[in-house]
Structures are given as C-alpha cells and as structure tokens.
Amino acid sequence: MIDFSILTKYSDFYMKGLGNVIEACLIAMAGSFVLGTIIAVFRIAPMRWLNAIGALYVEVIRNIPLLMVVYGFYLLPPVFGMSAVDGFKSGTLGLIVYTASYIAEAVRAGILAVPKGQTEAARASGLTYIQTMRYIVLPQAIRIVIPPIGNQFLNIVKNSAILGVIAGFDLMYYADKISSDTFQYFSPYLFVALLYLVLTIPISFGVKYLERKFSKAR
Amino acid sequence: MDFAGAFAWDNVVFILKGLLVTLEVALISIVLSFVIGCILAIVQYAKIPVLSHIVATWVEIIRNLPLLLLIMFTYIALPDIGIKLDPFVSTVVALTVFESAMLAEIVRGGLRSIEKGQIEAARSSGLTYVQTLWHIVLPQALRSMVPPTVSQFISLLKDTSLATAIALPELVHNMSIVKSQNVNYTLPAFLLATMLYLIVNFALSIVSRRLELRRA
Amino acid sequence: MVKSFKRMSVLSLVAVFMVVLALAGCGNSQTPAPAAGGDKSAPKAEAPKTDAAQPAAAGGLDEIKKRGKLVVGVKYDTFLFGFKNPSSGQVEGFDVDMAKAIAKKIFGDESKLELKEVTSNTRIPMLQKGDIDAIIATMTITDERKQQVDFTDVYFKAGQALLVKKGSPIKSIADIKKGVKVLGAKGSTSVKNIAQKAPDATILEFNNYQDAFAALKAGQGDALTTDNAILYGMAKQDPNYQVVGGIFTDEPYGIAVKKGNTDLQKTINDLLKEMKQDGSYDKMYEKWIGEKPSK
C-alpha cells in the first residue's frame, strides 16, 4: 500500500518542495511579525485615525479567506497596470498580510497587559511615545506574546500549502507532479504529510513548552 | 474595469449560488466536527488507558497538517485504497477531520476549566462518572466554549475556499468563472466575493460578541 | 506537568517512528511496503504502473459503450474553450463541442455525454483513476505529459500570434521591424521566440498576459504576443483589437486519454480527420474563435 521507492526516486522533488516551503515560511514569519507589530502599535497609538486604520486592517483581513488575500496579489496587480506577481511571491505576500492581522491582535493584547502606570511614568520622565513603546512597553509585551506568535508561525507553515493552488513550487505542487508521474496518489501525498509534520510538530511542542514556562512564571 | 458588465444579474446570482454552497458545506461540517470534537475531547479527558493516548496522538497529528493537504488527500489519494468521494463529500470529510481536531482542543480546554471540587462533590453525592460528565461538567464547559467555537466556525467558513482546488462550486470557484469572461471583470468579481465573506463573517463575529457579553 | 510530559513523549515517539519509517524506505527502496490493512489493498490493482507496456487497454472503448455514455473532463473557467456560462448554467466552448462530437461519433448521439469539471490540480489524477475517459482542457502536448497520459492528434493548433489594435499597420510577424514595441510575458518562450524571429523589435516584458494587454490598451506598445488561444479571448472581450498573421510557433493542444487506451485514441484521431475533411471542424472553429483556422 505504501510505496517507499517513490521517496528515493523522487527525493529531488521532495527536497525542492521542502526547501521552497521553508523559504516561504521564514520570509512570511519575519514579514508578518514586523507588519503585525506595526499594526498593533497603530491600534493603540494615541491617534484616532491610526486606530481606525489598524482596526480596519485587522477586521477586514481576519474575515476573508487566506486564498482571497493571496488572489489579491496574484490577480489584481495587472488590473491596475502593475506587473504581475508569480505564485511563490504572491503566496508568501498573502501569508504575510493574512498572518499579520492575527499577530497584531496578539501583540496588542500583550501591550495592553503592560500596566498603564509604567507608560505614564515613562512619558512623564520625558520619553517620547515612540521611545516609551520601544524601550518600556514592547520588551515586556514580547514575552507575553511569544506563545501566541509561535502558534501563528505554526499556522504559517500549515497555511503555506496554499502555494500549491497557484503553482508556487511547494510540497503540494510537487506531490501533484510526483503523483501524475507515478500513477500513484496515496504514497506521494502521505510522504508530503510526513514532511509537513517534521516541520510542524517541533514548533507545536516548542509553543506548548513556552506556554507552560511563561504561565508558571506569572 | 467594467462594474456594470461584471455585476450583470446573472453573474451576481451565480456568485451568490457559490456562497450558498460555501455556507452549506460550512454548516454541515461545523455540526459534524462539533459532535466529533466533543467525543474526541471527552475520550481524552476521561483518561481511558490506551484509547486516550491514541486520540491525543491523532488530534496532534491532524492539527499539525495543512488543511489543503487533507482535502487533496481525501479527494485524490483515498481512491487508491478504494474510497471514492465526490468533491462535496471530500470537502465535508476533510473539513470535519481537521476542524474536529481543532475543536477537540477547545472542548478539552473547556472541560479542564471545571473545578475538580465540583466533580468530587457530584461523585460523592451518588452520581456515576457518566452522569457527572453529562449533567455537571458538560453544560458548564459548553457555555465557556461558545465564543471560541464561533470563531472556529468563521475559520471553517473561510477554509471552505480551499476546495476550489478540487472544483467544488463554492464562492471562490464561481468568482473565478465570472472573472474569466473578461479581463475587466477581475476586480469587480474579486471585490464582490470579498464583500460576501466579510458580511457573513462580520455577522458571525457579532453573534459571538453578544454571546460573550451575555456570559459575563 | 508529568501527564503532559508523558503525552509529549508519546507524540514524539510517534513522530520519530514515522521519520524512521520514511528513512527505512529510503534505505532499501526495493523491499515491498509492509502489508498494512491488507484487506483494503484489493482495489489498488487498478492503479497502473509507469511502464507504457500495459495490458491492452483494460476498460477502453468497450467499457464506454457498455456504460452508455462518454465522460469527459473539461475546464469551467476557460473562456471560449470550456466555460460555464453564468446566464444559462450551460458549459460551452470549443472543448465542449469537441466532446459532443466524440460522443456523437461513438453513440450517434451527442447527448450521451457527461462533462466533469477538472482543474489543473485534478485533471490528470481523474483520468488516471478512470473517473473520466478523456481530458479536453486546453492541454498542450509536452514530452513530460506524454509520460503520464496518451495524447490524440492535435485538436487545436495553439501557438504564438500577434494581437494589435484594429487598423494597425502590423499585419504579420514580417511587419515587426526596428522601433516596433512588442509586449510579452517575462521569461516566457514567447518572448524568446519573438526575439529570434524579429531581432530588431523592442521587447517590453511583463509578468503575464493580462498585464501586457492592459499595457497594450494604454498605448505602451504596438503588438502583444502570446498563445493565440489567449489572444482570441482578448479580442472577443475588446472588439477594438484583433489577432493578425497566423501562428509562428507550435504549442499544440491535444486530447488526453488514459495510457494504453489506444482504441479511444484511434476513434478520436479518426474523427478529427473526418471533421477536417467535411468542414465541420472549420465550422466549429469559426463558431468559437471568430475566424477560420489558418492553414
């Protein structure tokens, strides 16, 4: 039932797919963390219009499917006369924009968990708003938000399979190709599932470990 | 851009029909995954020797796989071992397997939030284990689980879009057909589909917030 | 704490076990797989092996006749070829008419046809599994795909052509001279071809054809080049533009049948010849493409 010879015969394809998945995920993790943090700061900044932009971003992006966000990068640029984006890039960009909305909420919760008194004290002692954020609030918030962000990174790895829908040369894409070449479907897809687990299980354990560690510390 | 052409009555109706399929698949799947998720969580909670470990492992594996992989696997790989399903059933099966594992974690969290003292009191007052679960633990756990379950439903509704890869005639699929008629239809069709997702999901999150408020 | 640690260890054991299994598979690729779930392995026999030397067309034309209908995989979102019309709900196009013609050839009745929607993710799996008898879905015949399926003769001569604004002085590839701006898709073979056939042209590269079409409309170039099937679709959308000069490359579309299904392949090839002789092919072509096929 399980044909292991496929794994050796097509190891090049599997490795290429795995490499592309890892690349897309690392870029998406860094990108969504930065963008998510910016949006979170927008949401709590002492400026109404920034709050509104942040809230709009989170509410809109969280309520539409990742596939639509990815399609936004894949289908729309040519409509506006810009050059189009290939499957790998639009998939990765979609992951960044989509995940940022979740990370923004996690970071916001973390920032709000830092007692208000500290912010007021910092402002009173002459720090600007940005300095207060940078040196007082964010370093503390980061610790609180690490587990939920870890969960979002786990989601990035799982969601990266979306690249397979738009020919992004990821593991799903190669599973399709290997299946068509071998006339077998069960084994090629099973091996891809295993490769995803090799990526996701360690992250999942890591997140659980951190959750326990930080909840004990408080 | 040709909004008038893209939003011709027939095109709009066609996209709405896609939304209907999306809702149908999502509803069936959430009901099934809620029931199965509760069973998985109770089995884990009850610490039945071997079974609980098997279920825990199953839940952990499924939760760590991409949903798209499960959909493709159900539709394309299962026939290799003699199980043939059409796109609709494949999607429901894959979504149920995936979301029931996600819900199992939510339900387990709800169960664990019940104080041990209550269970002990119930047991010592003569209730059996099953009775305690059914009358004391579950009702309380269910109440605390409503908001996370609603947000899981929103995720599930969004996730149905992946089934466009196996030609399920849902919202994204029908949008793709409408937009393919004309380059100038791309943006209007895209915006309409996005708006429909937003409307449905906003409505759901408002319900979720209401429920949360009532509880507090 | 202890409990969750136990659970984690069980899980990591399972994960390690799976990886070991996978690695073991790498080590001795020739050993047959462990017979897990032996009772369910029976239907697997239908999955053919890579070798083309398969027992002569198990379940070919005879099975289709016995079943009483032909099942064809088409796309629902390819304008002019396989397209589900939102107004009528009908699937229509060149590919669909081709499928009807095959059904008529086999049964004498074009309604003995079932269309199944395929996507580029599912079309080859569905054919290999026998869910559909043939794929008619703007599929270019390539050597790579010939390993996976058997192709009939060309049913649509796709190839590179030119799209220009009506009234443009450019009538064919010969008019692409120095200073003429040609729009194409970045890194595509169509750009390489035009650089070879019209070395004096200025080539502007875009990432895809939708983008290039927008640029053509904006007056950024004089002609757009890519597959004619795509260009005809654009010309239908905007009657101010037309395809000129025929094709100057060869990327033919074929109908795919399951490997070894030679009798269906032959039936379709015979039909294609007949249709080209009696003029019904030209009629069908004109109905969808809007002009006669170039000779």
The class level of CATH for C61-157+252-289 reads: alpha beta
Q: Which of C219, C231, C141, C226 is nearest to C192 (CA)?
A: C226
Q: Which CATH architecture does the domain made up of B3-215 adopt? A: Orthogonal Bundle (1.10)
The residue among C5, C14, C18 with the most chain A CBs within 10 A of its CB, best to mutate, is: C18
Neighboring chain A residues of C207 at a CB cutoff of 8 Å: 78, 83-86
Q: What is the CATH number of the domain that holds A55?
A: 1.10.3720.10
Residue B177's nearest CA partner among C117, C217, C232 is C117
Q: How many degrees, rounded to 5, is the angle at CA C210 between CA C206 and CA C213?
A: 80
Residue at C277: amino acid letter: Q
Taking CB atoms and an 8 Å cut-off, how many pairs form between chains A and C?
Answer: 98
* Residue C15 pLDDT: 52
For chain C, positions 70-89, list CB contacts with chain A under 8 A: none
Q: Is C227 left (phi over 0), alpha (psi -120 to 50) or beta?
A: beta
Winning range, highest mean pLDDT, from B78-92, C5-19, C204-218 = B78-92
**Is the model's pLDDT at C43 over the cut of 50?**
no
pLDDT of the residue at B119? 82
Tell me what pLDDT residue C20 has: 45
Residue A171: C-alpha distances to residues A74, C14, C30, C246 (Å): 19, 22, 24, 39
A101 CB within 8 Å of a chain B CB:
no
pLDDT for C29 equals: 38
> Per-residue b/e over A70-108, b at no fewer than 16 CB within 10 Å?
bbbbbbbbbbeeeebbbbbbbbbbbbbbbbbbbbbbbbb
**Which chain B residues contact residue A78 at CB under 8 A?**
183
Alpha helices in chain B (DSSP H): 3-6, 9-45, 49-63, 67-72, 87-112, 116-124, 129-131, 138-159, 171-180, 186-215
pLDDT given at position C176:
87
| B10/C contact by beta carbon, under 8 A | yes
CB pair distance less than 8 Å for C15 and A81: no
Under DSSP, the state recorded for C224 is E
Per-chain mean pLDDT for chain C: 79
Per-window interface: A 23-52 vs C, CB < 8 A: none
Q: Nearest CB to A1: which of C31, C36, C124?
A: C36
Q: Cα dihedral sign for C238, C243, C249, C253?
A: positive
Name the residue ranges covered by the structural domains of chain C.
61-157+252-289, 160-244
Domain extent listing, chain B? 3-215
Contact B165 C43 (CB under 8 A): no
pLDDT greater than 50 at residue C48: no
Tokens of B11: 């095109």
Question: How does pLDDT run across A169-217, given as a tens digit for each residue?
Answer: 899 989 988 988 888 899 999 999 999 999 999 999 999 998 888 776 5
* Domain boundaries, position A77: 5-217
Select the more confidently predicted residue: C173 or C57.
Answer: C173
> What pLDDT, on a 0 to 100 scale, did the predictor assign at position C144?
85
B79 touches chain C (CB under 8 A): yes
Residue segments in chain A with a per-residue pLDDT below the cut of 70: 81, 83-84, 216-218
Selected residue with higher pLDDT from C48 and A41 = A41
Interface of A with B in 48-67 (CB under 8 A): 59-60, 62-67
Inter-chain touch B60–A204, beta carbons under 8 Å: yes
Burial of residue A38 (number of CB atoms within 10 Å: 0-12, 13-18, 19+): middle
For residue C53, pLDDT beyond 80: no
Number of domains comprising chain A: 1
The pLDDT of residue C14:
55
**pLDDT score recorded for residue A97:** 98
pLDDT at C18: 53
CB-based contact, A201 to chain B, within 8 Å: yes
Q: How far apart are alpha carbons C250 and C161 in whole angstroms?
A: 10
pLDDT for B102:
94
Instruction: Specify the long-range contacts of residues B132-135, CB closer than 8 Å, at least 24 apart.
Output: B133/B42, B133/B46
| pLDDT over threshold 80, residue C279 | yes
Q: Do C214 and A79 lie within an 8 Å CB cutoff?
A: yes
Minimum mean pLDDT among B80-84, C144-148, C233-237: which range?
Answer: C233-237
pLDDT (tens digit, 9 = 90+) per residue, C103-141?
A: 999 999 999 999 999 987 889 999 998 899 999 998 889
B56 interfaces chain C, CB cutoff of 8 Å: yes
pLDDT in tens, chain B (216 residues): 678 888 888 999 999 999 999 999 999 999 999 999 999 999 998 888 899 999 999 999 999 999 999 999 999 999 888 899 999 999 999 999 999 999 998 888 888 888 788 888 888 888 888 888 888 888 888 777 888 888 889 999 999 999 999 999 999 999 999 988 877 888 999 999 999 999 999 999 888 788 776 665
Q: Is the pLDDT of residue C46 over 70?
A: no
Cross-chain residue pair B179–A158, CB shorter than 8 Å: no
Q: Which residues of A touch B160 (CB under 8 A)?
A: 65
Q: Do domains C61-157+252-289 and C160-244 have the same CATH topology?
A: yes
**Chain C interface includes A191 (CB < 8 A):** yes
What is the rounded CA–CA span in Å between residue C162 and residue C182?
Answer: 9
Q: How far apart are CA B107 and CA B34, in angstroms?
A: 9
Dist CA A186 CA B38 (whole Å): 29
CA-to-CA distance for C84 and B176, rounded, in angstroms? 11
CA dist., res. C269 & res. C255, Å (int): 10
Q: Exposed, middle or buried by CB within 10 Å (0-12, 13-18, 19+), for C118?
A: buried
Query: Residue A49 has what pLDDT?
Result: 95
Per the model's pLDDT, the better-predicted residue between C159 and C282 turns out to be C282
Four-way CATH pick for C160-244: 3.40.50.1980, 3.40.190.10, 3.30.2130.10, 3.30.70.141: 3.40.190.10
**Which position has the higher pLDDT, C209 or A37?**
A37
